[in-house]
Amino acid sequence: MLEKEYYPQQIEKKWFDIWEKSNPYRADDNSSKPKYYALSMFPYPSGKLHMGHVRNYTITDVVARFKKAQGYNVLHPMGWDSFGLPAENAAIQHGANPETWTLDNIAYMKKQLKMLGLSVDWDREVTTCLPDYYKWTQWLFIQLYKKGLAYKKTAPVNWCDKCHTVLANEQVIDGKCWRCDSEVTKKNLSQWFLKITDYSEELLKDLDLLTGWGDNVKTMQSNWIGKSEGAILKFKVKEIEGLEIPVYTTRADTVYGITYLVVAPEYKDIEKLTTPENMQKVQEYRENAKKLSEIERLSTERIKTGVPLGTHFINPFTGRVCPIWVADYALVDYGTGAVMAVPYHDDRDFDFAKKYNLPMIQVITGDDFVDGKCYTNKQGKLINSAQFDGMRADEAREKITKFAIEKGFGEFKTQYRLRDWLVSRQRYWGAPIPVVYCPKCGAVPVDEKDLPVLLPKDVDFKVQGKSPIETSPTFKKAICPVCGGLAERETDTMDTFVCSSWYYMRYSDAKNDKKCFDKDLVNKWLPVDQYIGGIEHAILHLLYSRFITKALRDCGLLDFDEPFKNLLTQGMVLKDGSKMSKSKGNTVDPDDIYKNFGADTARLFILSDSPPARDFDWTDAGVEGCYKFICRVYRLFSKYQNQIKLDYNFDFSKLSKKDSDLVRETHIAIKKITNDIENEFQFNTVISRYREFTNSIYDYIANESEINYDVLSFALLTLLKLISPVCVFMAEEIYSSLGGADSIHNISWCKYDDNLAKTANITLIVQVNGKIKDKLEVEADLSDDKLKELATSAPKTAEFIQGKTIVKTIVVPNKLVNIVVK
RNA sequence: GCCGAUGUGGCGAAAUUGGUAGACGCACCAGACUCAAAAUCUGGCGUGGUUCACCCCACGUGCCGGUUCGACUCCGGCCAUCGGCACCA
């Protein structure tokens, strides 16, 4: 029996306990049904769920439940991105053990997720900080190493002093650390990299295959990869026989306008290129450049500086001899580290030449050319460029490069902005990089049978200035797997983004202790059909995962090219106009919502007001509104629980108008809700339909004596099924109280009859010259001629037509008639 | 500077192929129920004009222009907000 009023706490507790015991949402590896893989970005176990999590996982859960009801074999897993600095910082600050801290948080948050009613297959739970997972992260690292995709090199890398570790390029946001927001400096260190640049072109090109991704994310990735097509041109140094300076340019069409050349302060040949009399000034300049922070140096606002080296180069096109300068607006790690300067046609060169009084030569002109101003139009015509005069700039670019190739001082070159992924971290709480250093054999990967390389427990977290892992008295000692001699273990751990770049593959075979995953299983379940998470991973996680997928494909471990077929980036959860955050004090604790209104209310509300991709504004009034709606639905069922028939039966042709109208409303509701879910998961309109349909049912029952209980049963049970993916606890409670044998969540999705999914009458709009003059209630599906006749003879239209000539009449079936008169 | 997204009532928003702009909700107002309140149910709710009122008329989807019988929707040109990239040669 249903209670008269709705008590969410009791109902949700009851089903929480039942589902806890049965784990009813196992994905079946052997099912013959088509598979559907619904995936949420897994959480970092920071302590408690926040509303962003609630939104993310509710959306994915409704998708998973909808697809299951539609007959798919659904995989909807969950896990924990559980390595990373917060655990280590807790250890440093409160003396906690990072592992205990992390596992405690996981236990708490797991319970919160279960209270949210997620249809997750908990048998496949993955925890990246546990050895049964990171063993395989290490194993994958070794496969990449063998394939030449993991390597160690000394390079200027990003260093965060506060986090005391290096960072990947992707983790430096506006010159600051992505985690702690402190300024990042450059350090020259020997570090491990993954060769993502081998895949630059494929990562860019395959964005076109990702038709289920938003343009925003694809554009961000494309910007980040930063492809540019140009040429390398080589210039001979006048003073030094045999020395050449190659430059990279996308504007080969401007070579006749070169008046100087700039090298970066870190340029490799810079000392050779400096004359003794300039040496002191050049060295001073370089020292100064080193002191500047990345932020200062990359600021476009800054006034450009530089000093001449004293040497010169010969422009092979013109034979002109021009000076070589050092200036920090040339970047050592892009192109060749040297830039040809064409002041008249490049803003930066223009500023620089003005400041130091360097000559300018105009070589491009056009209608919009203004004398004395830098002219960067790429459609202009060449002048002062010998045989290339009169050509359009974009054509000349190719011709001039070809000319340079023929003469042996140039080549075409495609350049990418993307850099290799720096993956080593000087921190404790991560997967140890499985490498040992042997005095004889150098850096050697650990023998695969010796994996995992376990994190040592005998460490001191309070140590300053180095990784806690270094304080272990035992960890470093190792035997070289090649020669058997004494060796030293690598103490760096991996970037957590390595762990998270393959977790969604592990779900396909989460408990396998022989392999990272079975090839057949990973090929069966992946690619992910729908991935849902925050936009903040547009570059980081999503780019890394795409790279790892392609790399593992090339290692022969799987057979697909892209990991995520469809991607939904959900908007933020706001309150009072800004993002919920502890510092602003505008957070809402999911536990409080569970306690006061129940998880079903939280789920309904978080889906209700905005489409998933847009930001969502949390309001207390909105939550209450949703709670009231759930009560309103519940009351319908509790009121008629004795009349509702699970085996309802009626003959549509014999129904009264009122009954048949409700049947039609029911079919319309099924159709619209199904379409709205399938069309980009527009849950906000889905919920509007729930309300509309519920309002229709309330209208229907207004007169008790006219109720046909078979028709009412049909409508109510349909509503219950339609609402069941969102209000999971209430739907289950009602259905089981009505005597349903199975769980409502195991019942197939409702079908609709297209002939019944429309109203019996329509409102015909009558326009004269495009202005609405009348609205007529008429039978649906009348012929065009009949509609025309009805419209012209309508009394209100008559006065507008009278005395005028009808030029034409436009009929839109079932909608409108427009009479055009003169 | 380049690229992407967005722009509709007091607020969140809706609107197959161009075809009733504002569905659904929040807030607000009124009525019913009640001794009263809450809850619940019913109705109203873009702006301006006109009217005792019903009606009716004009305007209205960031701005300007165009195509069309008809434009939130298509085209051209702007503006604003948010986000990404950026001394990348």
Residue range A95-151, pLDDT digits in tens: 889 999 999 999 999 999 999 999 999 999 999 999 999 999 999 999 999 999 999
Q: Are strands A79-80 and A126-127 parallel, antiparallel or unpaired?
A: parallel
Q: Specify which residue's alpha carbon is closest to the C1' of nucleotide B15.
A: A685
Nucleotide in closest CA–C1' contact with A223: B85
Calculate mean pLDDT across residues A418-442.
94
User: Distance in angstroms, CA of A600 to C1' of B1?
Assistant: 49
Contact A549, A558 (CB under 8 A): yes
- Spanning CA of A794 to C1' of B52, the rounded length in angstroms is 30
State, as a whole number of angstroms, the distance between the CA of A215 and the C1' of B4: 7
A718 CA, B23 C1': Å apart: 21
- Give the nucleotide with minimal C1' distance to the Cα of A221: B84
A432 phi/psi in degrees, rounded to 5: -60, 140
Residues A45, A98: Cα–Cα separation, whole Å: 12
Tens of pLDDT, residue by residue over A165-210, are 888 888 888 888 888 888 888 888 899 999 999 999 999 999 989 9
pLDDT attached to residue A682 = 93
Q: pTM of this prediction?
A: 0.93
A333: CB partners within 8 A, 6+ apart: A156, A419
Q: How far is the CA of A613 from the C1' of B15 (A)?
A: 19
Least confident of A282-296, A465-479, A805-819: A282-296
Q: What is the pLDDT of residues A466-507, one digit of tens each?
A: 889 999 999 999 999 999 999 999 999 999 999 999 999 999
Nucleotide at minimal C1' distance from the A807 CA: B69
Please spell the DSSP secondary structure of A338-377, one letter per residue: EEEE-GGG-HHHHHHHHHHT------EE-TT--TTS----
Which residue lies nearest B20, CA-to-C1' measured?
A765
Give chain A's mean pLDDT. Answer: 92
Residue A821 in this model has a pLDDT that exceeds 90: no
The candidate with the shortest Cα–Cα distance to A478, out of A455, A453, A500, is A453
Measure, in angstroms, how far nucleotide B4 C1' is from residue A614 CA. Answer: 15
ipTM above 0.90, yes or no: yes
DSSP strand E in A168-227: where? Answer: 172-173, 176-177, 184-194
| pLDDT greater than 80 at residue A295 | no
Query: In the complex, which nucleotide's C1' lies nearest to the CA atom of residue A218?
Result: B4
Lookup: nucleotide whose C1' is closest to A415 CA: B88
What does the pLDDT look like over A85-107, one tens digit per residue? 888 888 888 888 999 999 999 99
A208-CA/B74-C1' distance, Å: 26
- A333 CA to B77 C1' in angstroms comes to 41
Q: Which distant-in-sequence residues (6+ apart) come within 8 Å of A464 by Cβ?
A: none
Of A651, A755, A668, the C-alpha closest to A708 is A651
CA R_g for chain A? 34
In this structure, are residues A542 and A220 in contact, taking their beta carbons and an 8 Å threshold?
no
Examine the pLDDT at A531 and tell me if it is beyond 90.
yes
Task: Kindly report the bases of strand B lying within 7 A of a protein C-beta atom.
Answer: 2-5, 11-16, 19-21, 23-27, 39-42, 57-58, 69-71, 83-89
